Amino acid sequence: MALYSEKVMDHFRNPRNVGVIENADGVGQVGNAKCGDIMKMYLKIENDIIVDVKFETFGCGSAIASSSMATEMIKGKPVAEAMRLTNRAVAEALDGLPDYKMHCSVLAEEAIKSALDDYYAKHPEKKEGA
């Protein structure tokens, strides 16, 4: 069996939503101290919907594929739904990642949460239950 699924290879070779959003409503950056990989996520939010999302990753192929898939999964979705996105869901959408590469998908989940935290910090009134 191949180490990486076709979906992983596809998103690694043709990552979706790579880039920067100027004047993003939320920006988050996270890193993994062990491998040194870094991921930065930009969100454009209108009426509680993620209307645009872009990412930059200085990281491994699985991190690139995970962030690409994660951006596709939250684009056009309500903020509250994006907040609930788990790395497992991202890995499943990629038809799996090798066990020792699961932490790469964690980076995608954390980058999105960090960008959403930034958004909520700027718009405390939007926070659920506030």
Ordered alpha helix ranges (H), 1-130 = 6-13, 61-74, 79-83, 87-93, 102-122
43 contacts 50 by C-beta, under 8 angstroms? yes
Choose between 25 and 109: whose C-beta lies nearer to ligand FES.
Answer: 109
60 lines the binding site for ligand FES (CB under 6 A)? yes
Q: Which is nearer to ligand FES, 88 or 122 (CB)?
A: 88
Pick the closer one to ligand FES by CB: 60 or 112: 60
Residue 25 has what DSSP assignment?
Answer: S
- DSSP 3-state assignment of 116? helix
The answer to whether 59 contacts ligand FES (rule: CB under 6 A) is yes
Binding site for ligand FES (CB under 6 A): 32, 35, 37, 59-60, 62-63, 104, 107
